[in-house]
Chain A
Amino acid sequence: MAEDAAPPELPPREAATPPELPPREAVESLSLEEDVADLDAAAADEGYEEEAADAAEELQEAPLTEEEEEEARGVAQHLLLNAPPGEFTELLDDVASITPERALEGGFVNGVARARNAQILEAAITEDGARVVLCREAEVTPTSYRDANGKLYDVDHATLEAIPVEDVYDEDAVPESLKSARDDLQKALAVYASTRYLGEGHAATFVVGDALKCVVRGARKNLGNFHSGSWASAWTLTPSSEGYDVQGMIQVRAHYFEDGNVQLYATKEVTASTRDVSQLIEASENELHAGLEAMYGDMADATFKALRRVMPITKLKMKWSVDALRLKGGLTKAAAEAY
C-alpha cells in the first residue's frame, strides 16, 4: 500500500496537530507537571498562545505571573481530567469558580475536554441523536471527527454537541479488502452494542493504516438521581495469518453521589488472536462483567468483613466500661497493660 494511502497515524504538521495524548498512567498519575506539559500542547493547538498574547496586551497589567497562571491551569486540568463520565460541564462550573478566569481562556477548556473525551471514549451527539465517538482514531482535526461510515462532524468537546457537515472523509486510498472487513465488523459490533448495552449502546470501527480500530461503548447518567457511569472498550486489530492480533482495553466507571461519593473504576487489558473479532470482544466483556458481578456478590459476606464487621463475632455489642470488659476478659492485651 502506498505510503500516503492510509489515513496517517498523525495528521500532517501544518494541520492542527493533535497533541499526543498522555498515556493512561500519566493522566491518572498524581504529577501535576505532566498534566501541565500536555496542556501546553493542547493549548498551542487552539491558538492559545496568540490569544494569550493579545489578552496580555489588552490588560496592561497582568494579574497573574506566568508561573502562577501555569500552576492554576495545571491544577484545573488535573481536576477536569478526572471528570466522571457525563459530569464534565458540572465539574467545569465548579473549577471555574476557583480558578483565575484568564487561566481557562483560549481554548484551554476544549483542549482538556478533548483529552478527557479520548481517554474515556466519550461520544458527542447530534440533534438527530447520532453519536460520534471522540476517540483518537476518529479525529480528523481537533474539532472534526468521522463516524464509522466516514461522515464528518464538527464537535464541541465541552458540551458534546456534534453538527454534521457536508464533507465526507476521503477513503479513496483505503484498500477494498480492509473497507469490507471494517464494514462487516462494524455490522456485527453494532448488533452486539445495541442488544447487549442498555444505555447509549454504540460501536464504531475505523481503518487506521493497515489495522482496524474499534470502540464499543455505552453510558448512562441521571445526575438528578446522583449517578453516572460508562462502559467502553477500545480495540486494535492487526491482520495476521491467524485472522487478527487483538489488543484491547475495557474500562468501566460508575459514580454514585447522593450524600456521599462512591466510585467504581475497572480496567482490563485483553491480548489475543482470533478470526472472529466481535465474538472475542463480546466474550472478553462478558468475562469482565461476570468478574465484577462475582466481586459485588462477595462484597457483603466476605470483602467487607475483612475491613469492618457489622456485628462482633460474639454477636454482642460493645460494653463501654473498663470494669465490665475486665470482668469478661474483653480488654485487649495492650489495653490491659496500659490501663
Chain B
Amino acid sequence: MAEMVSQGDDAAAAAAPPKRDPIEAALSIMRRMPPNKIAHNLNAICNLIPEHADELLQRVDQPLEEAKCKDTGRAYLLCDYNRDGDSHRSPWSNKYDPPIDDGFVPSEKLRRLEVEANTLFDCYRELYFEGGTSSVYLWELDGDDFAGCFLIKKKVSGHEFVTEGCWDSIHVVEVNLEDNGKAANYKLTTTVILTMDVQKESVGDTNLSGTLTRTAEKRSVIDAEHTHMHNMGTLIEDTETDIRVNMDALYIQKTREVVNNIRSPQTGPSQGAAFTASLNEAVKRHAR
C-alpha cells in the first residue's frame, strides 16, 4: 500500500510543477492545526505521506503516554527513546514491558547516571509541578558522548480554573565531551505542549492550547560541583521556566489581544450602540 501511494506521487509529480518539500509542508500544517489534537492530526498526515512518516514522527513532539512499571508499581512515560519494537523500558526497573530478550539498555556506567538523573528529575518535578510523572532516558553516542531525554507530564482536573488540563515537557539534550572529558557542550531542545479546557457558565466551553519549542546550548567545565546532572539540570530548569513564562505572558495573552482587537471588551461603546439604536428606532417611529 505504501508503495502504491508513492507511485501515485511520482505520477503526479511528473505531470505537475514540483511541489514543496513534503516535510516542510507537513510541519507548516501542524502549526495551523489545533494544538490539543496533535496526535490525531499527525497520524492523519502520516497516512497521506507514509514514506515520510518516520521523519515526521521524529520531528513533531506529541503528548506523552503513561505506563505503570510492573516491578516497582511506579508510573513512567513512553517515548521513542525508551521504545524497542513494541516494548518500552521502565526507567525505574530498567526492564522492558512486554519483556524482550535483546532490548537496548544503556551501559552500566550510563545506567548509573540514568538512575541518578531519574531521582533528581523526580525531585525537580515535585518542586515545580507538585504532582505528575517524570522519566529520564539516556543513550550512548560516539565515544563517551551521550544524549538524554527528560520527560514530565502533569494533568489537572476539576481545578477551580481548569476543568481539564495537561502539561507535557519533552527535553532532549545532547552531550559532547571536550578537553579530554574536563568539559562538555550541552545542546538542548525543549518542547512544551499545553492544553486547558475550561467549562463554566460564563465562558461556555473553552479550550486554550499551545505548543512551543526552544533550543538552548551551553558549555561547562565538569568537576565536583559541575557534574553532568548539574549542567544538564540547570539548562533544562532555566529553559523550561523561560517557556513557562513566555507561554503565559506572551503567547496566551497574545490570543487575548487578538480577541480584544476583534471585539472591544469595554462596555462603554456598547452602551453607545444601544443608545444609537434606540435613537434610530425613535426617528423611524416618528417618520411613520
Contact = CB atoms under 8 A, between A and B. Distances in A.
Nearest to B206: A266
B22 A97 contact: yes
Contacts of A192: 270, 273-274, 277
Given A262-B255, A302-B160, A100 B167 contact: no
B154 A308 contact: yes
A194 B127 CA distance: 50
Interface string B19-45: 111100110111111111100110011
Contacts of A231: 259, 262-263
Where chain B touches its partner, the secondary structure class is: helix
A198 B129 contact: no
Given A100-B8, A100-B9, A255-B32, A266 B263 contact: no
A327 B181 CA distance: 29
Nearest to A84: B32
Contact of B40 (A30, A102, A198, A268): A30
Contact of A312 (B127, B167, B194, B254): B127
B203 A266 contact: yes
Contacts of A330: 123, 127
Contacts of B49: 98
A106 to B, nearest CB: 15
B208 interface: yes
Interface in B155-175: 156, 159-162, 165-167, 169
Interface residues of A, number: 106
Contacts of B37: 30, 82
Given A188-B281, A195-B273, A262-B254, A82 B123 contact: no
A304 to B, nearest CB: 5
A122 interface: no
Interface stretch (A73-81, A133-141, A142-150, A152-160): A73-81
B58 interface: no
A68 B4 contact: yes
B90 to A, nearest CB: 11
7 contacts: A64-B4, A95-B25, A184-B281, A262-B208, A307-B162, A335-B118, A338-B118
Interface of B: 1, 4-5, 7-9, 11-12, 15-16, 19-22, 25-26, 28-37, 40-41, 44-45, 47-49, 72, 74, 92, 115-116, 118-120, 122-124, 126-130, 154, 156, 159-162, 165-167, 169, 194, 196, 198, 200-213, 227, 229-230, 232-234, 237, 240-241, 244-245, 247-249, 251-256, 258-259, 261-265, 267, 269-270, 272-274, 276-277, 280-281, 284
Given A87-B32, A318-B237, 16 more contacts: A64-B8, A71-B47, A82-B41, A93-B20, A94-B26, A95-B25, A195-B276, A196-B264, A199-B261, A200-B262, A264-B206, A278-B274, A288-B203, A307-B167, A320-B120, A339-B115
